[in-house]
Structure 1
Amino acid sequence: MTDLPFPVQPMLAKAVSAVPEPDSVAGGLLYEPKWDGFRAIIHRDGDALDIGSRGSKLLTRYFPELVEALKISLPERCVVDGEIVVRTGSPGHERLDWEALSQRIHPAESRVRLLAEETPASFVAFDLLAAGSHDLMSSPFAERRAALEGIADAFAAPIHLSQTTDDVELARRWLVEFEGAGLDGVVAKPLDAGYEPGKRRMLKIKHHRSADVVVLGYRVHTSGAGVGSLLLGLYDDGELRNVGGASAFTNQRRLELVDELASDVVRDASGEPIRGETDRSRFASGKDVSFVRLHPRRVMEVRYDQMEGSRFRHTAQFSRWRPDRDPESCTFDQLEVPVAYDLSQVLA
């Protein structure tokens, strides 16, 4: 195991529209909940333990409480794939909290220690890449999962083993029910597949919904030409609130949008566009957060997966313009709220 590269790029998943039948892939599928947290590869070699992120950056210093718990629960030499999550809520009403998790990435050591006590993280293991001197990455997932279950007897909270099932109907229930606990969907894993870093060999099924939103402004594309993203809003008791953005436009479409939105641009007395600024992200503090303000009179329909508080959890996707909709009718009431589900039942 000493020559196993670390950090390891995690194996990824490609999106599909529905939970697939188990026989749709040669060798069959095993289904798991899709955790909404930080993907993490744990590398332990004796007293040395590191946590690698999906982007191959080290997360170790941000989660001191996990480092200690992982040393207790994991074998002395292993590489484990999983997800770091933060649980919030009272007993019987727990759920994942993305916002609390994102706050954990902080440069100040004192703040890191404080947050480790106030919002402690958990780790959910779902793959075993190496154990002892054995590199398991070329082994079928069925064998890796069996080996993971073998070491999971020593797991204790906050270290957990992810549930699995080969029952497609149960997986479809998970897709609906587990969202109420803050989970992101379902993952289907080919039982015969080896572990291929950076490759999209798994299948993910996420929630897809639509909403009518008001266009508040746009950011210029990083190339300097065209619309890079649209800022979106919804009305809440008569007040228009920013709920996220929509992007992923083609080069041609970016240029077309500039012309389409020209009549909506808010301008000063000299005719120059008025700009605003959104809050800066702690993950990209140097990013340009300025945008061209638009009169809130244009409505568009977007596709989205889920909400995080009062904002879209991920970037929404443009569907179509809705000239038939009155902007003031675009409220939070239209959003689907998942039925609450206790996270402790998912982790049981």
Structure 2
Amino acid sequence: MQLPVMPPVAPMLAKAVKDVPDVGHVEPKWDGFRTVVFRDGDEVELGSRNERPMTRYFPEVVAAVLENLPERCVVDGEIVIARGDRLDFEALQQRIHPAKSRVDLLARETPASFVAFDLLALGDEDLTRRPFAERRRLLVQALAGARPPVHVTPATTDVAVGRRWLEIFEGAGLDGVVAKPVDAPYTPDKRTMFKVKHERTADCVVAGFRWHKSGEVVGSLLLGLYDDAGALQHVGVSASFTMARRAELVQELAPLRMDDAAGHPWAAWAQAEAHEQGRLPGAVSRWNAKKDLSWLPLRPELVVEVAYDHMEGTRFRHTAQFRRWRPDRDPASCTYEQLEVPVRFDLGKVLAADPDALP
């Protein structure tokens, strides 16, 4: 492979802001795996945000790249999986599997798509120093004939439309919008774009914790909500604490610690067959097999208010942010009913429509 921009490339990043800035360009924020695609003739490499290749996990994306992208190019975008009218990040996570037979099966059962949003190189030309507005124009031209599962992200220059997209596209499983300065070059691993995401709060039961990787301080709190059947479901973690606060939490949680999980609502998670489900706190991480995900049970009596951006199925999509303890709340009152449900929006309209035709 010989391209003017060679792998690995650390993607350009975005910093979080509260409102959509008027910098000339707004597009949806896709909830998938950030991917830089390198194509040189019959050679294709899919580079991830951590600069490790993901090529082997998405053979159908490689085939789509060969069919739809220019013969020699470097394109920044996102690998996503659409299920019905929404993005499905959990299905996407399942695609990272060591066995080729499993990878091939999932490529057929839950095929992925590639959404392109920047062009780093075309032919023999390095475009990274060009302003984004020019790179966007060249991207649209280069992929004008592309067909699903390859898409060019819709975009708008109207900040009011961008704010509208922020509200309605969440119903299709997207997690916000990104604003890009139109005169900016491509700056790998620098936060020169702006992302706007939803922030909501929920009161959750703290039913366990994990130790921090550095030692005997709290790493993360395990959060739960009660479902309609009265079962406490694991919904995610809260983990953003200073080291001093982590040490304080050890003392605060001590009165609630249980010697073992017997009688705990999540006692079944200690069983191997539960771990095979791949979405429980004690399961092996598919990203790092050596990562210790063991947990310590707490009596489910403590309630915490956390901030979150959106749900993925029945769980928080990202790590929730600690806000405050809620000693005034009964743990049994912490149910899914308190969560805001976004209005549904057809993902197909976001992927396929002319941006001018979107609301």
User: When the two structures are superposed, what TM-score results if normalisation uses the length of structure 1?
Assistant: 0.93
Question: What residue is the counterpart of 1:255 in the other structure?
Answer: 247
Q: Is the 2:3–2:72 contact (alpha carbons within 8 Å) kept by the matching residues of 1?
A: no
User: What is the letter of the counterpart of residue 31 of structure 1?
Assistant: V
Q: Is the 2:13–2:193 contact (alpha carbons within 8 Å) kept by the matching residues of 1?
A: yes
Q: Is the 2:3–2:73 contact (alpha carbons within 8 Å) kept by the matching residues of 1?
A: no
Question: What residue is the counterpart of 2:186 in the other structure?
Answer: 195
Cα distance in 1 for partners of 2:174, 2:97 equals: 24
2:201 pairs, out of 198, 206, 210, with 210
Query: What is the Cα deviation at residue 140 of structure 1?
Result: 0.4
- 1:296 and 2:297 correspond: no
1:321 pairs, out of 315, 320, 325, with 325
Question: What residue is the counterpart of 2:290 in the other structure?
Answer: 286
Query: What is the Cα deviation at residue 72 of structure 1?
Result: 1.3
Query: What is the Cα deviation at residue 59 of structure 1?
Result: 0.9
Question: What residue is the counterpart of 2:234 in the other structure?
Answer: 242
Cα distance in 1 for partners of 2:333, 2:164 equals: 33
Query: What is the Cα deviation at residue 292 of structure 1?
Result: 1.9
Q: Is the 2:5–2:120 contact (alpha carbons within 8 Å) kept by the matching residues of 1?
A: no
Question: What residue is the counterpart of 1:18 in the other structure?
Answer: 19
Query: What is the Cα deviation at residue 225 of structure 1?
Result: 2.7
1:140 pairs, out of 113, 126, 131, with 131
Query: What is the Cα deviation at residue 3 of structure 1?
Result: 4.8
Question: What residue is the counterpart of 2:349 in the other structure?
Answer: 345
Cα distance in 1 for partners of 2:72, 2:127 equals: 13
Tell me the secondary structure at the aligned position of residue 218 of structure 1: strand
Question: What residue is the counterpart of 1:71 in the other structure?
Answer: 66
Question: What residue is the counterpart of 2:26 in the other structure?
Answer: 31
Query: What is the Cα deviation at residue 169 of structure 1?
Result: 1.1
Question: What residue is the counterpart of 1:25 in the other structure?
Answer: none
- 1:2 and 2:3 correspond: yes
Higher alpha-carbon deviation: 294-303 or 105-114:
105-114
Cα distance in 2 for partners of 1:337, 1:325 equals: 22
Question: What residue is the counterpart of 1:57 in the other structure?
Answer: 52
Q: Aligned pairs, how many?
A: 333
User: What is the letter of the counterpart of residue 36 of structure 2?
Assistant: I
Tell me the secondary structure at the aligned position of residue 190 of structure 1: coil
Q: Is the 2:35–2:47 contact (alpha carbons within 8 Å) kept by the matching residues of 1?
A: yes
Cα distance in 2 for partners of 1:255, 1:2 equals: 50
Cα deviations by residue, 1:242-282 (Å, 9 ceiling, x for unpaired): 111100100110011111111111136xxxxx996622221
Question: What residue is the counterpart of 1:41 in the other structure?
Answer: 36
Q: Is the 2:4–2:121 contact (alpha carbons within 8 Å) kept by the matching residues of 1?
A: no
Q: Is the 2:4–2:126 contact (alpha carbons within 8 Å) kept by the matching residues of 1?
A: no
Q: Is the 2:171–2:344 contact (alpha carbons within 8 Å) kept by the matching residues of 1?
A: yes
Tell me the secondary structure at the aligned position of residue 216 of structure 2: coil
User: What is the letter of the counterpart of residue 296 of structure 1?
Assistant: P
Cα distance in 2 for partners of 1:76, 1:61 equals: 20
Question: Any unmatched runs of 5+ in structure 1?
Answer: 23-27, 269-273
User: When the two structures are superposed, what TM-score results if normalisation uses the length of structure 2?
Assistant: 0.90
Cα distance in 2 for partners of 1:16, 1:315 equals: 18
User: What is the letter of the counterpart of residue 29 of structure 1?
Assistant: G
- 1:266 and 2:270 correspond: no
1:158 pairs, out of 149, 161, 181, with 149
Cα deviations by residue, 1:269-309 (Å, 9 ceiling, x for unpaired): xxxxx996622221122211222211111101000011111
Question: Any unmatched runs of 5+ in structure 2?
Answer: 261-266, 271-280, 353-359
Tell me the secondary structure at the aligned position of residue 295 of structure 1: strand
Higher alpha-carbon deviation: 149-158 or 274-283:
274-283
1:87 pairs, out of 59, 62, 82, with 82
Cα deviations by residue, 1:113-155 (Å, 9 ceiling, x for unpaired): 1111111111000000000111000000011001001112121
1:97 pairs, out of 84, 88, 101, with 88
Query: What is the Cα deviation at residue 207 of structure 1?
Result: 1.0
Question: What residue is the counterpart of 1:107 in the other structure?
Answer: 98
Cα deviations by residue, 1:61-89 (Å, 9 ceiling, x for unpaired): 11111111111111111000000001111
Cα distance in 1 for partners of 2:192, 2:54 equals: 25
Tell me the secondary structure at the aligned position of residue 299 of structure 2: coil
- 1:180 and 2:171 correspond: yes
Q: Percent identity?
A: 60
Tell me the secondary structure at the aligned position of residue 298 of structure 1: strand
Q: Is the 2:5–2:74 contact (alpha carbons within 8 Å) kept by the matching residues of 1?
A: no
User: What is the letter of the counterpart of residue 323 of structure 1?
Assistant: P
Cα distance in 1 for partners of 2:41, 2:177 equals: 34
